[in-house]
Amino acid sequence: MKAGLIVCLFLFVFQSHGYQPTEQKWFYDGDFDIIIRNNKDTKEPLKQYYYSWALGAKALFSDNLSNYDAFSMEFERLTPDFEKSNSTWSKFLFAEYHFINSIVAMRREQELMAIWSFRTAYQGFHNVLLSNPDFKPAIKSLGMMELIIGAVPEEYKWLLDLLGWEGSVTSGAGRLTSLSGNPTFKVEATLFLAMYQCFLLQRYDEALFLIHALNGESKGGEMLKLAHLVILAKSGNSTGILNYSDQNSPFSYLYFLRAEAHLQAGNYKIAIQEYNRFLENYSGENLLKDVYYKIYVCYFLQNDLKRAEFYKNKIAEKGKEILEADRYAIMQMESERGSNKTLLEARLAMDGGFYDRSDSLLNVFMLYYKSSDVNFQLEYRYRRARLFHLTGNVDKAIEYYLLVIENQGEKSYYFAPNSALQLGLIFSDRKEKDHAIRYLKLAQTYKRHEYKKSIDRKSRALLSQIEAGN
């Protein structure tokens, strides 16, 4: 289970119930400290609920040890009383605190704690619904948990069976969809479904449609803006990110997203400024290797090799190797293959939605590097396949994806597994179920590549949807 994905899914869907508009506004604007100060000793269930998520969100957004400790202290202080109580809300809050704790523990690499709290929350929500089947907060939280369980990569399925956890993306989405017409839960249910479409199914148009509807109907504040930008980034719409005004934000991740967009647009000097702005406002350990790698890339592509080498050394020195992006940065630095500048720029431009620029760079590669290293030739075919796919030339994309799968052999690049995943998506869209299942299963067979966990998770999520007939 990937911590970064789960954190994104939860932090952007704080479960505002509509009864506390002041707390709701504070949360969506990122004013976690106000909620914490005002509700530390409250006995009102809804305010206790907001308090729990303000503590958890502050810890997860900051990625700061002292904030993690603050959440853990309150978790230890409050959950015993919730567990003893017979009220429905107390039983729910006991489970919800464990739900949040499982995410916090996962981010802190406390895997046994994360499993224990996730299991406790799962059982707790089930127990609440056994006695109160229409209790909407528990329906919401159990739906989220089922989406997570349904998307767990195949390599962890034995653990789910051992713990007796059952869930699927279909049942989880069904619970949330049942709430999307409820005025109390419409915002959070729709937003979670949008993130599910984006992160698990790569259905970016559907995700953006849902987000645009929320932007038109809801005063989501800084958090909804950040969620919108995350989906724009995942969908390769850097122009949309750059169109947002350059203003301060309570969320340092906004600066990271702007830096990424400038890097993809080829604005390397501005990208460096935004990455440094992120570093100045961020106190965590995750993403540091990724950021220093990106700053290295900026200088590398400007031929400033002295500064590039300085930041290359920082990649090994700073941060942790928990998130996929950080592990990728390390793998790139240790790779004997190195980078071709033209292919690297083509990839970045493509990731940002600058398709004409990417096409021109790929043409330059073929003009000047056609007889280069066979591994660069493989990467060229993969980049060309992605560009064909993203620009709507699906038949040519299929042709090139198949070439990548055929030519990669035993090499441990992510090109072939992601080609298989993309073929699964294409054939799923074409309602060619057998072909889709074949390639989605193939995607999970590749070992030891940079994006093993995320590709396996996405292929499993789509397989679950196809096999359920959706």
CATH code for 3-235?
1.25.40.10
Non-local (6+) Cβ contacts of 116 within 8 A are none
Helices (H), 85-110: 88-107
pLDDT for 20: 43
Q: Which tens digits make up the pLDDT trace of 230-265?
A: 888 888 889 989 987 666 778 888 899 999 999 999
Contact assessment for residue 107 and residue 3, using Cβ atoms and an 8 Å cutoff:
yes
Q: What is the mean pLDDT of residues 262-274?
A: 96
Q: Hey, which bits of 96-179 come out as E strands?
A: none
Q: What is the mean pLDDT of residues 381-393?
A: 96
The 8-class DSSP code of residue 155 comes to G
- Residue 99 and residue 87: Cα distance in Å, rounded? 18
- Residue 18 and residue 184: Cα distance in Å, rounded? 5
The structure's pTM equals: 0.78
Q: Which tens digits make up the pLDDT trace of 195-211?
A: 888 877 778 888 888 87
Q: What is the mean pLDDT of residues 399-404?
A: 97
pLDDT for 153: 54
Total number of residues shown for the chain: 470
Largest CA distance in the chain: 73
Q: What is the mean pLDDT of residues 155-167?
A: 57
In one-letter notation, the amino acid at residue 153 is: P
pLDDT for 8: 55
CATH class of the region 343-467: mainly alpha
**Higher pLDDT pick, 443 / 331:** 443
Place of tokens 């007889």: 371
pLDDT for 3: 45
pLDDT for 76: 95
- Residue 272 and residue 298: Cα distance in Å, rounded? 7
3-state helix, strand, coil in the chain (%, to 5): 75, 0, 25
Contact assessment for residue 88 and residue 132, using Cβ atoms and an 8 Å cutoff:
yes
Q: Which tens digits make up the pLDDT trace of 34-81?
A: 899 999 999 988 889 889 989 998 888 888 888 889 999 999 999 999
253-334 belongs to CATH 4.10.860: no
Least confident of 35-44, 112-121, 160-169: 160-169
pLDDT for 208: 82
Q: Per-residue confidence at 415, pLDDT binned at 50, 70, 90?
A: very high
Label residue 431 exposed, middle or buried (CB < 10 Å: 0-12, 13-18, 19+).
exposed
Q: Is the pLDDT of residue 166 over 50?
A: yes
Q: Which two tokens stand for residue 78?
A: 């409050």
Distances (CA, A) of 376 to 113, 227, 379, 382: 43, 35, 5, 10
**Higher pLDDT pick, 247 / 329:** 329
* 164 three-state secondary structure: coil
Q: What is the mean pLDDT of residues 172-185?
A: 78
Q: Is the pLDDT of residue 6 over 70?
A: no
Domains of the chain: which residue ranges? Answer: 3-235, 253-334, 343-467
Q: Which tens digits make up the pLDDT trace of 349-363?
A: 999 999 999 999 999
pLDDT for 17: 41
Q: Which tens digits make up the pLDDT trace of 286-323?
A: 899 999 999 999 999 999 999 999 999 999 898 888 88
pLDDT for 110: 83
Non-local (6+) Cβ contacts of 306 within 8 A are none
**The three-state (H, E, C) secondary structure of 316-357, written as one string:** HHCCCCCCHHHHHHHHHHHCCCCCCHHHHHHHHHHHCCCHHH
Q: What is the mean pLDDT of residues 8-33?
A: 60
- Residue 67 and residue 60: Cα distance in Å, rounded? 8
- Reported as type and span, the H/E element at residue 120 is helix 111-131
Work out the end-to-end distance of the chain between its first and last CA atoms, rounded to an integer number of angstroms.
24
Q: Which of 22-36, 81-95, 363-377 has the highest mean pLDDT?
A: 81-95
Can 253-334 and 343-467 be said to share one CATH topology? yes
Q: Which tens digits make up the pLDDT trace of 275-292?
A: 999 999 998 888 999 999
